[in-house]
A = this chain, B = another copy of it.
Amino acid sequence: MEQLKELQEKAKLIRKWCLVSTTEAESGHPTSCLSAADITAVLFDKYFTYDLANPLNLYNDRFVLSKGHAAPLLYTLFGIAGAYALEELKTLRKLGSRFEGHPVPSFVYTEAATGSLGQGLSVGAGLALIAKRENLGNKTYVLLGDGELAEGQVWEAANFASHYDLNNLIAILDINRLAQSQETMFGHHIEKYISRFKAFDFEVIAIDGHNLNEIDSAFDRAIKNNTGKPCAIIAKTFKGKGISFLENKDGWHGKALKKDELQKALAELGNIDDNLRFNPKKPAQTKLPENVSAEIQIEMSFEKNKEYATREIFGQALIKAGEKNKDIYALDGDVKNSTFTEYFQKSFPDRFVECYIAEQNMVSAAAGFSRLGKIPFVATFAAFLTRAADQIRMARVSEANIKFIGSHVGVSIGEDGPSQMGLEDISLFGTIPDAVVLQPSDAASTAKLVQLMVSHKGFVYMRTLRPKTAILYDNAEEFKIGGSKILRQSENDQLTVAATGITVFEAIKAADELQKENINIRVVDCYSISPIDSETLKKCLEATKKKIIITVEDHFKHGGMGDFAAAAVSDINGRIEKMAVSKISQSGTKDELLDDAGISARHIIARLKELIN
């Protein structure tokens, strides 16, 4: 009884600081915090096991705030747990504060940046899967709003969680009825959520989300859960709960109280002891991510006269990487026999995760893996990485260390047609700050670029090709991020053709044809697309007769390698002439389509002659 009373007071303290901080900020989503104040108060007061000094302790429970706009709730919970002095919350949403409008890693207890809805359950599933495979014995809690349950990704995550028997995952659904602009699709029809989560094979516990006893029983049952299933606590709640003029009222989404409204609200809450604290149990053990040195060497040998598909060599190289670094995981979306992550699966089944055809969940789960110190390689067709563009964006805000592989790039895939062609992928990844974008053209460079992917901390994207290509490089050739290779040059080059991937071979073919006519050109393989090798490109501009670099790429014209090249040489005299795909392609053979797209050797020669005459 005494305990219940104290818990009520702590829930009030949460409410107080969610209101005070947003009023101070003059913006934010206080009512979205209030609906979940009671349920999280019980969680943090009684069940949450956490080592505040070591947020990365692998034995910590995990709390993912999927409804990221309730950020002040997250901050308040950890504040009351003793992570910092609550007064600091008054810096909420101010420049330089670690308390941003939506959670980001500057608040170190943030498991994942959220704020784009419907991603948290996937991150949580990623955290829980690693915990399960490594027998960490902890629990992962994900707090979701009801509005975000409309996002399909939630159901991808639900399938994933039940398929992988993540009985260490507890989804807490804050069904507060009101979304941003109107009532949610299902309002307070809790049965709609119960039937859906049951159908997706969750253990479901439906409760009154403001009844502390019901909440307590629910957590008790969810934590003891021996069904082998993930658990969903479906809590019927009220937005703005606890303040009469906010509770269950329209028009209060995303609005901070004015100063006088705040006073009224605080008066309703009554006197609350600011010194009340949660005292989370610390896990019995401490284990931090092992930070295994990511510097590795990959040695592979290729026969000079054979052809190899870079996608297949990637698969083989990933085994080598996996042998040397046990934190490497591979995730694939039911195309492992096309991306060749199936090789990794065969070698390391415990570090392979089949994600089925659900790319969004795959990327967000990988962000969860990264949070626990893993190095996830996420692979699918480059075209289908666009399916997860928003999850990629948010994983970058989370500062996740993910390696992306996009196979089947460009029109060179041939007969399958435009739906399967990755022609936006350089643009997608290239736009993201600090993301490295690579594209090998042959087997030898593929092996070395995989090595670089592991060694580099942060986002790296590598494009791989469907068709086989000839060997260009020695097995021992060295590559670097920001590097390039000059493949043809002479003392009297007319201009430079900078290519990447499949177009390197078109450029070489063009150079060899032109040489028969005594026209020399320089050919550069820009295997590092971002950062691009500006030093070499500038030297090329300076050294050639015409101050022109033709860039040729099997990618749409805007946002590709050509734009990186142009930016890299913009401060010197010279000019970039972009050759790229500028229309929706079609079915045909590789060579027909390269020609149809205007990026074949024939087109390079024609354009070049126009430029030098």
Q: Chain A: residues with CB nearer than 8 A to chain B? A: 25, 27-28, 68, 93-97, 99-102, 104, 106, 113-118, 147-148, 150-156, 159, 163, 179-182, 184-185, 192, 195-196, 198-201, 332, 334-338, 342, 354, 356-358, 360-361, 383-384, 386-387, 389-390, 393-394, 396-397, 414-420, 423-424, 427-428, 430-434, 530, 556-560, 562-564, 566-567, 570-571, 575-578, 581-584, 586-589, 592-593, 596
Known interface pairs A163-B185, A583-B433. Does A150 touch B393 (Cβ–Cβ under 8 Å)?
no
Total identical chains:
2
Taking a contact as CB atoms under 8 Å apart, the answer to whether B179 and A357 are in contact is yes
Q: Which of chain B's residues have a CB closer than 8 A to the CB of A384?
A: 116, 390
Given contacts A116-B387, A596-B95, contact A576 B587 (CB under 8 A): no
Distance, CA A574 to CA B397, complexed state (A):
36
Residues of B within 8 A of A415 (CB): 25, 27-28, 93, 101
Q: A196's closest neighbor in chain B, by CB?
A: B199
Given A419-B68, A559-B431, A586:B102 Cβ within 8 A:
no
Given A360-B152, A418-B104, A424-B393, check contact A180 B559 (CB 8 Å).
no
Contact A430/B357 with A151-B156, A390-B384 known, Cβ cut-off 8 Å = no
Instruction: Contacts A185-B163, A419-B115, A587-B95 given; indicate if A152 touches B334 (C-beta within 8 A).
Output: no
A153 vs B358: C-alpha distance when bound (angstroms): 9
Q: With A180-B334, A184-B356, A417-B102 as given contacts, are A558 and B530 in contact (CB-CB < 8 Å)?
A: yes
On whether the beta carbons of A156 and B163 are closer than 8 Å, the reply is no
Q: Is there contact, CB below 8 Å, between A100 and B586?
A: yes
Residues from chain B with Cβ under 8 Å of A578 in the complex = 567, 570
Question: Please, which residues of chain B bring their CB within 8 A of the CB of A155?
Answer: 152, 155
Most chain B CB within 10 A, of A334, A361, A420, A564, is at A334
Cβ contacts A to B, 30 pairs, < 8 Å: A27-B416, A28-B415, A93-B415, A94-B588, A95-B588, A95-B589, A95-B592, A95-B593, A95-B596, A100-B417, A101-B415, A101-B416, A101-B417, A104-B417, A104-B418, A115-B417, A150-B356, A150-B357, A151-B357, A151-B358, A180-B335, A196-B199, A387-B389, A424-B428, A427-B428, A427-B431, A427-B559, A433-B582, A558-B559, A562-B567
Nearest B residue to A383 via CB reads: B116
Check A419–B433 contact: CB distance below 8 A.
no
CB <8 Å contact, B386 and A356: no
Residues of B within 8 A of A430 (CB): 427, 558-559
Q: Is the CB of A94 within 8 A of B556?
A: no
Minimum Cβ distance to chain B for residue A358 (Å): 5
Query: Which of B148, B394, B589 is within 8 Å of A419, CB to CB?
Result: B394
Contact partners of A563 in chain B: CB under 8 A: 558-559, 563, 566-567
Q: Could you say which residues of chain B place their CB within 8 Å of the CB of A383?
A: 116, 390, 393
Known contacts A337-B180, A387-B389, A389-B428; is-contact A116 B185 (Cβ 8 Å): no
On whether A338 and B424 interact (CB within 8 A), knowing A196-B199, A556-B432, the answer reads no
Distance from A67 Cβ to chain B, minimum over Cβ atoms (Å): 11
Known interface pairs A101-B587, A182-B334, A587-B100. Does A556 touch B431 (Cβ–Cβ under 8 Å)?
Answer: yes
Q: Which chain B residues border A564 with CB–CB below 8 Å?
A: 558
Across chains A and B, which 5 residue pairs bring their CB atoms closest together, nearest first?
A: A152-B152, A115-B419, A95-B588, A199-B199, A389-B389
Q: With a CB–CB cut-off of 8 A, which chain B residues contact A583?
A: 433-434
Chain B residues within 8 Å of A588, by CB: 93-96
Q: Knowing A148-B357, A416-B102, say if A97 contacts B587 (CB, 8 Å).
A: yes
Q: Please, which residue of chain B has its CB at the minimum distance from the CB of A393?
A: B386
Residue numbers in B under 8 Å from A117 (CB-CB): 357
Chain B residues with CB under 8 Å of A393's CB are 383, 386, 424
Task: Determine the chain B residues whose CB is within 8 A of the CB of A152 once the complex forms.
Answer: 151-156, 358, 360-361
The minimal Cβ–Cβ distance linking A528 to chain B, given in whole angstroms, is 14
Q: Which residues of B contact A342 (CB under 8 A)?
A: 181
Is B334 a contact partner of A179 (Cβ separation < 8 A)? yes
Contacts of A390 in B (CB 8 A): 383-384, 386-387, 389
Interface centre among A116, A577, A578 (most CB of B within 10 A): A116
Closest residue on chain B to residue A146 by CB atoms: B357
Q: Is the CB of B185 within 8 A of A196?
A: no
**Bound-complex Cα distance A298 to B417 (A):** 40
Question: Is the CB–CB distance between B357 and A95 below 8 Å?
Answer: no
**CB of A571 to closest CB in B, whole Å:** 7
Q: Give CA–CA (A564, B560) in the complex, Å.
A: 12
